[in-house]
Structure 1
Amino acid sequence: MASEMLMEEPMCLIHNSTSGALQVNSQAVKILEGITQPVVVVAIVGMYRTGKSYLMNFLAGKRKGFLLGSTIQSHTKGIWMWCVPHPGKRGHTLVLLDTEGLGDVEKDDPKHDTWIFTLAVLLSSTLVYNSKGTIDQDSMNKLHFVSELSEHIKVKADGEEEDDSAFDTEYISFFPKFIWTVRDFTLDLEIDGKEVTEDEYLERALMLKKGRKREVMEYNLPRQCIRDYFPTRKCFVFIRPASERDMKQLESLPDSALQPEFLEQLDKFCQYVLRESKVKMLKGGHHINGRIFGMLAQNYVDTIVSGKVPCLENAVTMLATKENEAAIKEGLAYYVAQMEEQIVFPVEVAVLSEIHGNCEKAALQLFMQRSFKDEDQKHQEQLAIEINEHYGTVLSKNKSTSQQICQTLLAQLSADMAKKLQNGVYMQPGGHELYMKDQKQVLESFQRTPNKGVMAEQVLEQFMDSKKAEAATIVTADKMLTDVQKSLAAEKASGEQLKQQRKAEEERRRQLEQRMRDVERSHQEDIRQVEAKMEEEAAKIRQETDKTMQCKLKEQEKLLQQGFTERARELQEEMDRLQKQGKAREEKLQQQLHEREEKEKQRQQEEHQQEIEEKEKQRQHEREETRDRRKGEAAPA
């Protein structure tokens, strides 16, 4: 299956074009387009020549794949991608992103590293920062990209007010998990003579200093940004895997040649990453698959190349528009295919209605599964319109097929009568009785024939109407009939014609009422699925808010423990604002739902009024037909 596509080796996802600008590899996008499963995206960043690729190969379950280097030059250029089946989450694809090493002196563009780091953050659901030695001030200084994130990523679209606190709060809701891996770690994990965990080591390194002096603020800035932007963080330390001599051929070394402690650390790291990394989400809580991931990468790179700053809200809006339009096509294509597969023309109205209802419901569900951020449900309404138009086409085809079958059948059944008429059989004395007997046989044979479809009564009405003049001529020519008998025959023929007209009219009314029931059912199903979708979106809002609140509360607790009461108070204000925002978003959804319900009530009232008017027009039409017919019958007298 396309969604289970295997990549035997990594491929470049983002590279520099000949002009030096970032460019997305179209071949990589094609591979992503075939991945319909949710994607878990793990990206690794760090200074060049720190062993990033080695870790990523192990996450892929391989020893070789991403290029390792044994020289002072950086081997990985741009961002490379490896898509493999997730070993721990069935039905998910693991997307591994190995990035170009930061700090390479051979680079021409000083902004290149910033954009590589920014893209890794934007595209991943777990971000691994890889460094060597210890977590000290030098390693913090090298992570200056974190301090610049708010300058290179926008949360809100142009024209909307944005501040740093809004950036923190909005971004946390889908910010990647942060893992700091420290390679070639040689120290003991002890602080003040007490053994500490790797996570405690990281948190100690991220502790802030008190004061307002410039050097204190410079010291605190990268730490504060990591604490704010990466509320979910983890640390792993690794000893050197092998001897200095063996490091140059690391990827070919068997496990027996590696340090047992390193293998243990590596296994613990891989298990954590594979277990804890979540599906990549867009702002708003929408999980993405490979296809959307490819579009997301393209959007961010195009924005950067244009000289603008990537915007989360703009990206979501762009993706939502494309996905919703594609969802309309997918839903409509499914509906059309299912209708064609299940319908054999002609088909009875009730059966056709049931098939249409089931296919429409399934198509709408398919649309709902793919669509997101469908403002005012305009895309859903468009799908409903297109399905309704196609259903109208199906109804027309059903009628025309039935009409053709009925007309052909009547032509076949009345062929013998046509010959007799042509040969003058009915123009002899007693011919009218023979004519009526033959016609009765034709009508009975027609009515006994099954599978004629929805136009049977109307075609029969037209057939009988077309024979009125013919029958009148035969009655007039039959010299065996008295004037009274001729009058009775004409009256009987008129009565039979009227009876058939009523049958045809009843059938037309039944079809119209069924069509109205179809429309009403479609609207009700539409409302039901919209309500379910809105409830789902409201639940995602609550989850986002709860997740962010939990992260903020943990950070507030740490700040209070470390004596930063002022910062803890500011954090409380952010949480209060966050709760208000979440509540406002939920209220907006509820308001949209209420407005839709009111709109539906108005629609029902208008349709009810229209139905009353249509029935009155129909009754008026019937009265006029009856009056005209009576005038015609009274004329000969």
Structure 2
Amino acid sequence: MTLSPSSSEESVVLVEHEDGTATTLEKELPKSDEDAPHAVNIVSIGTETTGYAFRFHPERLQAILAKVPSHYKVKVVSVVGAFRTGKSFLLSWFLRYINRTSSSDNKKWYEQVDELQEGVFHWQAGKERDTTGIWMWNTPVVDEKDESVLFLVDTQGMFDHETSMNLTACIFGFSTLLSSYQVYNVDKRIQEDNLQQLALFSEYAVTAMEDQSETAPFQMLEFLVRDWQHYDEEEEDNVDRMEESMKEYLDQVIRERDVKDLQETREQILNTFQNIQCYGLCHPGFAVTKKKFAGQASDMEPLFLRLLDRYCTRVFDAVPCKQIHGQTITVTEFGNYCKAYAGLFAQGAKFPQAATLLDATATANTTNAKLTAMQVYTQGMDRTAGPHCTNYVPPQELQEQHELLRKQSIKAFQEKANFGNKQKILEAKNRLEEELSEQFTVYESLNNGRNPLLGLEVYVIPGLVAAFAYVLRWFTDATCSHTVCRATSEALHHTWTVVTCFLLIVGATKFQQLKAMFQRIQQAVGVLLDAQKEKKE
């Protein structure tokens, strides 16, 4: 049975056998399909033999990130929850909502959906697992006005007989670390074990806030209760009242408890997430449970579709930009964080200690701070003396620009690298200083290549020799008629002729260089005149 979607570079298929074993098959996608919209497996999860170790695929993630400007802000909607509760199905509806078009017959966007099989996250009805690992949609949603980009992430289902509690915690943890809008997909109601999963991050939250962070480390958490059974019949025509019921339900779930450990769990969750919400979707209809169901909206319950419409609007109108320790993350920085977080689980599905988790975050943040600082320097120097510049900059002026941009670069680094091990931050700052000096040497070399006096000796010295020979010959012919003088005159004539021919040949073969040389001479004269004016002033 085929259970996974294809990746951008290869099709990764999990085949589950009757004896319970699983085999992963990989095959190349046709070239024409590589750029087609589809889900990409950015993190695969091993088997029991490998301790369910996470394997990060940086080249696949980079292929997605490369489609958008590197400085754009990142928004990530990730769906996590128990297996076979409709996570991929939900994400597929998200895609239909994002790509919706207006209808000439005034149909709702969901009424235009004839099927939900092509151009969506792979899903299927039934009881078998369908998604393994962590998947990302390969076509980001770009908002040019806001200069942000939205990524959709699907995760392997949890709480089944094949997934240990450690692996469940790791999947949930990785998804939470990546997302700015975490959808926690639960069945029928929010249970105590759902809350305990969230409490895993409480120690990290406390550690992070001790490290000068003023707010909870994670942003949006939304419980999406599937097959919601708490609506009254009279509410079915009033979606606003239904949403009020959802809020009341959440307040009831997280209200104070008399039992100490239950109350601690709730306090930990509130300290971990900045915003916690709840939404309920009723059962979509019995047609959805049949294996032949292909996503036809006409076969689904009208109330489910109405609630789904409201929910999609609710989510995508409120997705915040991803922030870590109060700093908004760019596309480039997001890639570095993904790599750092996946590395925490590379040796097996063991949830990392809070200090380890914070250290990985701080290390990635320091790396991003160094990259940002280098961009500040190189962008400024590129405008002054970069590869595309044509004007020569006097050395003193270039040195002054270097010092100015170096200070701005260091300031940018210090503003961003504001948490984590102080010694590691200092070491990164020292490396940055060294790289800035090395980079300045490159700009000096580029600028020297545009020096208007550079290479003039190739033409000036032979020219002076030819001129001297010509003048001396003229003087000899005018003042001396002796045989020796005539021989000297002929020798000077030959010298003048040879040098002149040499200059003509060089000029013919290097016309463009000569043209540039004359331009440099003009610049040199201008530089000298400016220098004289400055001295007079």
1:10 aligned onto 2:39: yes
- Which of residues 291, 295, 298 in structure 2 aligns to 1:256? 298
CA shift digits 1:32-52 (9 cap, x unpaired) = 441423221111122222112
Establish whether residue 402 from structure 1 lines up as the match of residue 456 from structure 2.
no
CA–CA distance in 2 between the matches of 1:96 and 1:250? 26
Structure-1 residue corresponding to 2:196:
144
CA distance in 2, matches of 1:202, 1:250: 35
Check conservation: 2:228, 2:280, Cα contact below 8 A: yes
**Is 1:319 equivalent to 2:364 in the alignment?**
yes
Q: How far apart are 1:383 and its partner, in Å?
A: 6.3
**Which segment drifts farther, 419-428 or 65-74?**
419-428
1:55–1:450: structure 2 CA closer, same or farther, 3 Å change rule? closer
Partner in structure 1 of residue 437 of structure 2: 385
What SS does the aligned partner of 1:131 have? Answer: strand
Amino acid at match of 1:304: F
TM-score (ref. length: structure 1): 0.55
Secondary structure of 2:521's partner? coil
Determine the C-alpha separation between the residues in 2 that align with 1:293 and 1:251.
Answer: 37
Indicate how the Cα distance of structure 1 residues 81 and 451 shifts in structure 2: closer, same or farther if over 3 A, else same: closer
Tell me the amino acid that sits aligned with residue 299 of structure 1: A
**Stretches (4+) displaced over 6 A:** 358-367, 454-458, 508-511
Q: Which one of 79, 85, 107 corresponds to residue 44 of structure 1?
A: 79
- 1:105-504 pair list within 5 angstroms: 105-107=161-163, 109-135=164-190, 139-150=191-202, 153=204, 166=210, 170=213, 172-188=215-231, 196-210=244-258, 216-242=259-285, 244-249=286-291, 252-289=294-331, 291-306=332-347, 308-309=352-353, 311=356, 313-327=358-372, 335=381, 339-343=386-390, 347=392, 349=394, 372-373=416-417, 381-382=433-434, 385-386=437-438, 388-394=440-446, 396-399=448-451, 401-402=452-453, 404-405=455-456, 408-409=459-460, 411-412=462-463, 415-421=466-472, 425=476, 428=479, 451-452=520-521
Match of 1:292, as an amino acid? E
Distance 1:250 1:92 in 2: 38
Structure (1 or 2) with the greater helix fraction:
1
Higher relative contact order (CA 8 A, sep 6+): 2
Task: Label 1:417 to 1:173 Cα distance change in 2 as closer, same or farther (>3 A).
Answer: same
Between the aligned partners of 2:63 and 2:143, the Cα distance in structure 1 is: 22
Greater share of strand? 2
Distance 2:445 2:522 in 1: 16
SS in 2 for 1:93: strand
Amino acid at match of 2:345: I
Q: Flag the structure with larger Rg.
A: 1
Aligned length: 418
Question: 1:332, 1:386 within 8 Å by CA — same for their partners in 2?
Answer: no
Deviation readout 1:5-32 (Å, 9 max, x if unpaired): 9761111222223623111123422224
Distance 1:415 1:89, change over 3 A: closer
Note the alpha carbon deviations across 1:560-610, whole angstroms, 9 max, x for none: xxxxxxxxxxxxxxxxxxxxxxxxxxxxxxxxxxxxxxxxxxxxxxxxxxx
Change (3 A) 1:233 1:361: same
Q: 8 Å contact 1:78–1:99 — kept in the other structure? A: yes
Instruction: Confirm or deny: 8 A CA contact 2:205 2:216 kept in the other structure.
Output: no
Q: Does 1:25 align with 2:52?
A: no
Q: Is the contact made by 2:231 and 2:245 (CA closer than 8 Å) also made in structure 1? A: no
Give, in angstroms, the shift of residue 174 of structure 1.
3.9
- The one-letter amino acid of 1:302's match is G
Over aligned residues, Cα RMSD in angstroms?
Answer: 4.6
Quick one: distance in 2 between partners of 1:362 and 1:228? 39
What's the secondary structure of 2:260's corresponding residue?
Answer: helix
DSSP 3-state at the match of 1:111: helix
Counterpart-to-counterpart distance in 1, 2:526 and 2:271 = 75
Question: What is the rounded CA distance, in whole Å, between the counterparts of 2:126 and 2:202 in structure 1?
Answer: 35
Q: Distance in 2 between matches of 1:88 and 1:200?
A: 34
Given that 1:46 and 1:131 are in contact with CA atoms closer than 8 Å, whether structure 2 keeps it comes out as: yes
| Structure 2 unpaired stretches of 5+ | 1-33, 98-115, 234-240, 419-424, 481-517
On the 8 A contact 2:77/2:181 being kept in 1, the answer is yes
